[in-house]
Amino acid sequence: MEDDSLPYESRRAPLFAKNIVATSQPLAAQAGLNILKAGGNAVDAAIATAITLTVVEPTGNGLGSDAFAIVWDGNQLHGVNGSGKSPKAWSRKYFEKYDEMPQFGWDTVTVPGAVSTWVALSEKFGKLSFEALFEEAIKYGEFGFHVGFRTAYDWNHGPELWYAGYESFRDEFLPAPNTGDLVVRLDISRTLSEIAVTKGESFYRGSLAEKIEEAAKSGGGGLRLEDLEDHQTEFVDLINQDFQDVCAHEIPPNSQGIAALIALGILDQCAVDELDSLDSFHMQIEAMKVGLFLADRYVADPKQMKLQPADLLDEYFLREYARKIDKSASPIPPIDRVKGGDTVYLSACDSSGVMVSFIQSNYFGFGSGIVVPGTGIALQNRGWGFTLERGHPNEVGPDKKPFHTIIPGFLTKGSRPLGSFGVMGGPMQAQGHLQMINRIVNHHQNPQAASDAPRWQILSDFSVAVEPGFPSSVAEGLAERGHKVKYMTSYHSFGGAQIILNNDNGYVAGSDHRKEGAAVGF
């Protein structure tokens, strides 16, 4: 394509339907929709969408990803933590050669949990056969898919610099395609077929697992077959926080979802009602700074945490933080773990009332740069989420889950589900959750309007980035209050929301214009 620019501002309309899939890539959304039309439920559709995303949007996820999910089964909520642990070989001595956690290579590769998450969800909630969920993804791998504009952008900006030294990555993903190019991925197609037939067993205990171990040994990595065999997807109790008349639900640590809940708990005690006012943005930013700071200091593998979620969400604890917020920017010290990254998120809902909030990611772009030869399995770099700080609950160690950025979100009102949502994009995710919930609950915006609204983002030095279109008078006001405001020229770092809310006799959905995806339904 000669010109893939989008020079004119555009806005989408919300989608109203009884069955909906919303995600960041339109081919994947349609794959999920086709499963719904074939008689599957929202869980089946979510899995099929997630599988397809590993083929058509490799810039944010792959077969070597982790995954989390929140499922409303028609009666109650279920939390699913599919994140993997570090290899047993990862002793502190193992990392003595580093001054900080590496970002790429085998020493960032933890056990991938996405495949096991698909299996667990299918077995517990699915209606269709597991194999049926792979059909469209396999076809896209075998016969090709046309690359969308945002995927092409991410493919062409960075990977040749970050990953050029990894031969298996070059063989699989370089040179980067352009918008509209047809890309065939035969290796991943064959691997998906093997995963489908074996219900994931090959990935953790069979021939694919052996290939992963062989690649690790030849590349000097610590991951072994034993690590893969020991992996289990966990069903977990969700953590929650009341906000106005709704309840927000997140996956508990090792996920950063608690940062959003902390911020919500603080904001709920600050009387600011005016939409997009200086006071409103200031209060949100100040509340979020506290959430990010506390998550950075305390969130880790649950077995290692020094404070539990109940402590961090204690009403009186949060009230003290709310009381300290005034008209000036607070001097909170910089944090370590606001790191860049990308991911894919999807939401699916069906006419029977089943709703799914699902997220999977390779963390930073394509992940570690390691691709298992001949398989199309691009391995995540979640080990980068650990720290080398001595005594920190998230200090790197063996058989341990790292701090995780990816978070699916869910809202309930009373005893009923209100909505499934997420905002993909590394450190933007908890911040995006706060912004979406505030707009939907406090200001009754529809999903598309909430998604379209201009965003802010707190960076690691606690400066505040604002995207194009953010109200200039508000940005100037924030600067006058002591915030270090950074004006960004692109929306690429401000995440991508997918939101589905319950509506009378159906659902209403929005899909972020910052991505190339869609909300589709019938």
Q: Identify any residues that bridge with 234 across adjacent strands, giving them in sequence order.
A: 81
Token duo for residue 435? 């912004």
- Which residue segments constitute the domains of the chain, with CATH numbers given? 15-235+341-385 (no CATH), 241-336+428-517 (1.10.246.130)
Note the pLDDT tens digit of each residue in 453-490: 999 999 988 899 999 999 999 999 999 999 999 999 98
Strands (E), 362-473: 371-372, 377-378, 409-413, 416-424, 456-458, 464-466
Count the Cβ atoms, other than its own, within 10 Å of residue 215. Answer: 22
Number of residues that make up the chain: 522
**pTM of this prediction?**
0.97
Provide the pairing of β-strand 77-81 with 234-236.
antiparallel
Residues ≥6 apart with Cβ < 8 Å to 480? none
Q: Which amino acid is at 199?
A: K
Q: For residue 212, how far is the Cα from the chain centroid?
A: 24
The reported pLDDT for the residue numbered 426 is 81
Which is it for the CA torsion 284, 289, 291, 292, positive or negative?
Answer: positive
Which is it for the CA torsion 485, 486, 491, 495, positive or negative?
Answer: negative
Conformation bin of residue 484: beta by default, left when phi > 0, alpha when psi is -120 to 50: beta
Cβ pair 334, 460 in contact under 8 A? yes
**What mean pLDDT is predicted for residues 179-205?**
98
Q: Which residue bears the tokens 């990816």?
A: 406
Note the pLDDT tens digit of each residue in 325-341: 999 999 877 676 556 66
The helix/strand/coil state of 383 is: helix
Note the pLDDT tens digit of each residue in 304-323: 999 999 999 999 999 999 99
Note the pLDDT tens digit of each residue in 130-146: 999 999 999 999 999 99
Q: How far is CA 24 from CA 141, 294, 457, in A?
A: 18, 30, 20
The reported pLDDT for the residue numbered 342 is 78
